[in-house]
Amino acid sequence: MPEILERSTPSVLTTEEPSQAPLEVHRRLPSYEVTPLVRAEAAGLGALWIKDESSRLGLPSFKILGASWAILRALKGRLGDLGPWSDADELAALLARHGPLTLAAATDGNHGRAVARMASLLGFRALIFVPEGTAAARIDAVESEGAECVVVRGGYDDAVRRSAERASERCLVISDTSWPGYEEVPAWVIEGYSTIFWELEDQLERSPDVVMVQMGVGALAAAAVRHYRRAGLEHRPYLMGVEPLDAACVLASAQAGEITTLAGSQHSIMAGLNCGTPSRVAWPVVVEGMDAFLAIPDERAQEAMRLLAATGVVSGETGAAGVGGLLELLAAGHPRLEGAAVLVLSTEGATDPVAYERIVGAAPGA
């Protein structure tokens, strides 16, 4: 059975205005385009919008938004002011005088590939750690960016620990989760995701009533909270985080009132959400700003993939989790949805084409 936890107290408003600096940087990277906003129909809803992140800066996931901004902030912290640049080639030329560097990261696929792509653009080496059981297609995709990919026994948290060990003067660890003493980079990752929400400001015909957002370690959800809980915002949407039943670390932490690590490894098909511990940076933002936390079975994500395909949106298992959560709420007759304008983020494309075809019944884009 799915699990849901709704807050009994109002969510807070932040006084900090989110910066548009990440958006300005992303516009200078190769293949930048505003990703599509798709209008779909769903019985009982006033409107349903799907932000399609199946192609973002040349990759099939939104993750490069956080990785690119965090990498540039980390490089500035390590090397000092990099000087003016207008595109990735100019930036790589500026960095070349500093000598070779390595970027390391842990991933279930998308974040690691994003770090590897940025390393390739900047002339760096990439070392990416993945948990055992990671789909071959996702490993191949990381390696296609020129990265060295290391398979780690255990789950995502084990891969995170291995990547953290590689930090050195010549190796920058670019993680989207945090641990004691490592908090700046994950905070920059969250800032990088703000580009999605600034684009939506121009795309949406009205402010949404409900926003469904994937959880994972909580970085994307934290970006949503910072945007939709900012001071001066007239309409504050209901924010619901969605995660797999098998990896509901944020929900478990919210129930416990403190960061909680799940036992063992996580094995949901929503691979990008197979996280056992929330980010220390994202956690306080998420727990104060989200209205509800929902854990769904894998079957809901599969159903959501098929529904998204019918609307022309190619979405992988993780990408479809938000729609899966919406389906769960519709089936339960959740009162917040009646006549509501709902925004859902489809955060990835078919990052495992074999699994996509098995679930959807057709190849991606067919």
- CATH code, 278: 3.40.50.1100
In a shared domain, residues 153 and 223: no
Closest CA to 195 of 50, 18, 15, 16: 18
Give the residue from 137, 166, 189 where a domain finishes: 189
Give the residue from 126, 154, 189 where a domain finishes: 189
Coil, helix or strand at residue 51: strand
What whole-number distance in Å separates Cα of residue 68 and Cα of residue 1? 38
Residue 32 falls within a domain, yes or no?
A: yes
The total number of structural domains in the chain stands at 2
Give the residue from 170, 189, 208 where a domain finishes: 189
In a shared domain, residues 250 and 181: no
Q: Is the dihedral of CA 75, 79, 84, 88 positive or negative?
A: negative
In a shared domain, residues 196 and 339: yes
DSSP-H helix ranges across the chain: 21-26, 63-79, 88-96, 110-122, 136-144, 156-164, 184-192, 194-203, 219-228, 249-256, 282-289, 298-310, 321-332, 353-360
In a shared domain, residues 114 and 167: yes
Using 70 as the pLDDT threshold, list the residues of the chain that sit under it.
1, 9-16
Coil, helix or strand at residue 96: helix
Q: What is the pTM of this model?
A: 0.95
**DSSP assigned state of 348:** B
In a shared domain, residues 53 and 152: no
| Residue 210: per-residue pLDDT | 97
Cα 110 to chain centroid distance, Å, stands at 9
For residue 55, the enclosing domain spans 3-63+192-360
In a shared domain, residues 230 and 201: yes
In a shared domain, residues 178 and 234: no
| Residue 265: per-residue pLDDT | 85
For tokens 């912290």, what's the residue? 77
Full DSSP string of 179-241: BTTB-HHHHHHHHHTHHHHHHHHHH-SS--SEEEEE-TTSHHHHHHHHHHTBTT-S--PEEEE
| Residue 9: per-residue pLDDT | 64
In a shared domain, residues 276 and 349: yes
In a shared domain, residues 157 and 224: no
Residue 114 falls within a domain, yes or no?
A: yes
